[in-house]
Amino acid sequence: MIFVAKWFLDVKVLGDKCFLELYDDMSRSIERVMNKLKFYGYVLVKEPEEIARILLYENLVNEAWVEDWYKPPYYRDKCRVLVYTTNSFENYRYLYSLFKRRGFHIVNNYPHPLIEALYRAGLKPLTKLYGGSTWDPREHDPVIDYATIRVENGFYIVETNDGVEAVQSIRDLIEILRTIKPLLVFSNSLVYFAVINEDEGVVKTPYSWITIGSYTPHIVFEWCRLSYTPLSLMNNATIGRLLSTIEVLRARDWKYLVDREWSRVEGFRTIDELFVWDRGGSIHQPKPGLYWNVCQIDFKSLYPSIIVKLNVSGETVNDPYCAKQLITQYTPHKVCLDRDGLVASVISNLIDLKDLYEKLFDETRLKLYDERRSAVKWILVASFGYLGYRNSIFGSVSAHEVVTSTSRFVTAEAIRKILKLGFRVIHVLVDSLFVEGVENLDECREIAEVVGDELGYRLKVDAHYIWLYIPRSVTTGLGSSNKYYGVLSTGGLKIKGLTIIRRDIPIFIKQIGSRVFEELASAKNAVELRKAICRAVEVIENAERMLMNREVDIKLLVFSREGKVSYRKPPRYAILSKPPYMYVATRTGFTPLNALEDLDEVDYSYYVKLLNRIKEELPVPEEIN
C-alpha cells in the first residue's frame, strides 16, 4: 500500500510483474513500486460455466465466472460471457493466444488490457496516490522538466520549462536535449526518428519520449487521465482512439459488449437521399469585401450539444425495439429516448468538464486550465466526426446524419431569429455566425443571449470587429469561406486562414506578413484604413526589393514540412532528404537546405510570389469606399 503522496507517472510490465512508476516533484525522482494489477479476459463459448471450472481447476486464472452482457447493435438482448482475471500479463497473453487457437470468440479486447486493469483498480495516470488514486480537476499537474518539439516556419521549435528556442539543424536540436536533460519529450514520430538517425543515444537521455505530437504536458496529461492511458501507451495515439477508449470504459460499466468482429450495417440509400441527408454543417459562400461593426457569434460545442440533447448514439438511432422515439422533420432517422445513449452520456460528462475548466480559467487566468480545456475540446471536436467513422465502435452513419441535419436546421433557425432582430448575417461557417451592423460588444452579447434562449442551444460572443475583411478566393474570385481578418473592438487583430499563419512558410514571409497586418491593426475608420493599406503595400514592396537584391539570410527562406510516410509521386526534397523536411525554393524545384551548394540556385522570384499572395489578401480602394 502506498501512503506517500507521489504522482502516478507510468506503468511498466516486466516479465509477469507490473510496476507503477511514481514521481516525486519535490526531489524530481522516480520510484518503481510493484502492483498486482488484475487483467480481465472475456470469451464467448457454448458452455461458459464448464470452461470457467476448467480454468480454475488448472490454476490458469485467479478468478473465473459467467456474466450477462448486452449484445450489439442495439444492446437489448443479452448473452452469457466467460470472464476471467489474472495478475500476470504474460499469463493473460498466453490465455488470449490459447483461446484464439481453439477458435473461441474473444470479446471486449479493446482497449489495451493494461488500460482496463488500471481502470478497474481505480488508478488514474498522472494523479497523486494516497494509498489509492484521487483526482480533483482543480489540482495542479506535476512539475516536470520537459521538452516539446515541433517543426514550424523552417525551424525546430523547442519549448521547455525555461522558454522557447528555435534551431534549424538536427545537431543543434540534439545539443539542446543533451543540455537540458528533460524527463519527458513530446514530439511526433518523424522528429523522433530524425533524432535517432543522427544520434541514437540521445533518445535514452529522457525518461520517456512520447510521440503523440507536439502537445504540451498539460494537454497530454489530461488525455491520460480521461482515458486511463499511461504515458507508455500514448505513442502515436489519435484523438479518435482516446475517445473510443473513454467510451469503451463506460461500456464496461454498462455491460455493453465490444465485439470487434461485428460491424454495423447501414440501410440502403439512393443517390438523391445521400445528397439531401449525408451532408456536413452549414458553410455559406460569403460576398467578398469589407464590413463594418461585425459580431461573430459561436455556438458553444454545437455538435456535442446536439448529441447530448437528442440522446444520439449508435444504438439509439433507428432502434426497432424502442417504445419512445424522437421524430424530427429535418432528418429521416428516429432517436430512441427509452434510455441514455452511451455516446451522449460520455459527451455530456466531457462538456461539463470543459465548462469547469473554462470557469477555472476565467477565475484564475492560469494557463494550466486553458490547456486542459483545449484537451477536452479536441476530444469534443473529434466526437462528431468519429460518430460516422467506419471504425467507430458506438457510432453509425445514421447517427452522424442526425447530428449534421440538426446542425443545419438550428443554424437556419438562428439566422431567421437574427434577421427578425433587424440585423444581417453576412457569413456562416459551421457553428459561427457573422452579423453585420452590431454597434458594440454589449449588443453582441444581447443577440447571443436572446437567440440562444429561443433555440435552446448556448451561444457565445467570439469577437466584435470594428471592421472585418473577407478576401477573394485566388482560384474562383468568390469570397473565401474560411479566410477572414479584422480589427477587434477590444484591441488587436484576428486572422483566420491567411498565408502568414501557415506553419510551413519561411519565417521571412511570416515576419513581413506580421508587419503588414500590424499596420492594418491601427486602422479604426475608412480614412485610417486607406493610409494603413498604403503603408502595408510599401512594406511588401520593400521586402520584394530585399529578395531580388539577395539581402535576406537563406536561413529565413527555409520551408518546413513534417512530411508523409510515403508519396505516390514524391517531390524532389522528399527524394533527397528525410522527414521532417527543411528545403528552399530553387530554379530546379524545392531543394533540401543541406543539399544547397550555391546561393545562386535560389529562386527568389518564388518568394516574391508569396509576398504578392499577401498583397492579394488586402482590401482594394473600391472596397473601402
Residue range 315-363, pLDDT digits in tens = 999 999 999 999 887 888 999 999 999 999 999 999 999 999 999 999 9
Count of alpha carbons within 13 Å of 431, Cβ hemisphere only?
22
Which of the listed residues 209, 227, 254 is the one where a domain comes to its end?
Answer: 254
DSSP label of 281: S
Percent of the chain past pLDDT 90, that is, above it, reads: 72
CATH number for the domain spanning 480: value is 3.90.1600.10
Between the two ends of the chain, the Cα-to-Cα distance in Å is 75
Q: Give a yes or no: residue 55 inside a domain.
A: yes
Q: Give a yes or no: residue 62 inside a domain.
A: yes
Non-local CB neighbours of 385 within 8 Å, separated by 6+ positions = none
Say yes or no to pLDDT of 222 above 80: yes
Residues 595 and 609 in one domain: yes
DSSP of 491-515, one letter per residue? SSEEEES-GGG-SSS-HHHHHHHHH
pLDDT of residue 4: 57
Non-local CB neighbours of 571 within 8 Å, separated by 6+ positions = 589, 590
Residues 545 and 420 in one domain: no
Any bridge partners for residue 34, and if so which? 19
Residues 285 and 429 in one domain: yes
477, with CB counted inside 10 A (0-12, 13-18, 19+), is exposed
Residues 454 and 468 in one domain: yes
Q: What is the mean pLDDT of residues 206-215?
A: 90
Residues 284 and 421 in one domain: yes
**Which pLDDT band holds residue 132 (cuts at 50, 70, 90)?**
low
Rounded-to-integer distance, Cα 501 and Cα 482, Å: 13
Rounded-to-integer distance, Cα 453 and Cα 489, Å: 25
Instruction: State how beta strands 128-129 and 133-134 pair.
Output: antiparallel
Residues 386 and 492 in one domain: yes
Q: What is the mean pLDDT of residues 66-70?
A: 97
Rounded-to-integer distance, Cα 375 and Cα 497, Å: 22
DSSP label of 552: S
CATH number for the domain spanning 62: value is 3.30.70
Residue, of 88 and 622, whose pLDDT is higher: 88
Output the average pLDDT for the chain. 90
Say yes or no to pLDDT of 1 above 60: no
Residues 159 and 238 in one domain: yes
Which of the listed residues 496, 524, 547 is the one where a domain comes to its end?
Answer: 496
Residues 216 and 305 in one domain: no
Cell 470457467, residue? 52
The tally of domains found in the chain comes to 4
DSSP label of 125: T
Q: What is the mean pLDDT of residues 401-428?
A: 94
- E strand or H helix that includes residue 425: strand 424-429
Residues 489 and 524 in one domain: no
Cell of 449: 443571449
**Which pLDDT band holds residue 66 (cuts at 50, 70, 90)?**
very high
The pTM of this model reads 0.91
Which of the listed residues 496, 511, 535 is the one where a domain comes to its end?
Answer: 496
With contact defined as beta carbons under 8 Å apart, do 125 and 228 qualify? Answer: yes
Residues 434 and 551 in one domain: no
Q: Give a yes or no: residue 425 inside a domain.
A: yes
Residues 592 and 468 in one domain: no
Any bridge partners for residue 289, and if so which? 470
Say yes or no to pLDDT of 241 above 90: yes
Rounded-to-integer distance, Cα 230 and Cα 216, Å: 16
Q: Give a yes or no: residue 131 inside a domain.
A: no
226, with CB counted inside 10 A (0-12, 13-18, 19+), is buried
Give the residue among 510, 511, 535 at the shortest CA–CA distance from 521.
535
Q: Give a yes or no: residue 6 inside a domain.
A: no
Residues 551 and 605 in one domain: yes
Q: Give a yes or no: residue 335 inside a domain.
A: yes
Q: Give a yes or no: residue 569 inside a domain.
A: yes
Non-local CB neighbours of 405 within 8 Å, separated by 6+ positions = 277, 328, 330, 331
Full domain range(s) for residue 571 = 499-624
Q: Give a yes or no: residue 13 inside a domain.
A: no
